[in-house]
């Protein structure tokens, strides 16, 4: 069975400056994508998307200079493919964490062996 979901995406062209950089600061532009569910939730809270984007960017240390709605589109998402991709990403992250833990344990074991070997005296 093939299940799909249609999601509406809204693109906004956001111009901003990074206030963490020394002056003179160059204006940068980035496309910010919001989904229809978030836009609806903002509307119920009495917020406009531009206000939300500005709030989020300011929290990250950026000063927004301009926000322009770029375009909207509907995307069809195959839920089985989404599940497969997400589960693969989760498994990859879990494996990377395991490998990092094993490397850390291996380094600790090497350090312990080096300490033991360095502590021996020839009598």
Q: Global pTM?
A: 0.67
**65 in a structural domain:** yes
User: Would you say residue 110 lies in a domain?
Assistant: no
Instruction: Give the pLDDT confidence score for residue 120 in this predicted structure.
Output: 61
Give the chain's domain count. Answer: 1
116, two tokens: 């033991």
Tens place of pLDDT per residue across the chain (123 aa): 889 999 999 999 999 999 988 888 899 999 999 999 999 999 999 999 999 999 999 999 999 999 999 899 999 999 999 999 999 999 999 999 999 999 999 999 999 898 888 866 555
Specify if 94 maps to a domain. no
Q: Which residue has the tokens 């509406």?
A: 8
By residue range, what is the domain housing residue 35?
A: 4-77
On whether residue 104 sits in a domain, the answer given is no
Residue 53 lies in a domain: yes
40, two tokens: 């609806």
- Within a domain: 16: yes
> What is the per-residue burial (b if ≥16 Cβ within 10 Å, else e) of 54-82?
beebeeeebebeebeeeeeeeeeeeeeee
Indicate whether 117 belongs to any domain: no
Q: CB–CB of 41/83 below 8 Å? A: no
């Amino acid at each position: 069975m093939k299940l799909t979901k249609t999601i509406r995406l809204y693109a906004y062209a956001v111009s901003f400056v990074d206030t963490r950089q020394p002056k003179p600061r160059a204006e940068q532009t980035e496309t910010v994508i919001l989904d229809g569910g978030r836009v609806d939730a903002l509307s119920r809270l009495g917020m406009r998307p531009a206000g939300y984007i500005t709030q989020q960017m300011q929290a990250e240390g950026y000063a927004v200079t301009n926000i322009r709605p770029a375009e909207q589109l509907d995307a069809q998402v195959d839920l089985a493919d989404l599940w497969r991709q997400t589960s693969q990403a989760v498994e990859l992250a879990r494996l990377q964490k395991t490998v990092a833990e094993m490397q850390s344990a291996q380094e600790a074991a090497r350090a312990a062996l080096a300490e033991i070997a360095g502590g021996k005296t020839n009598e």
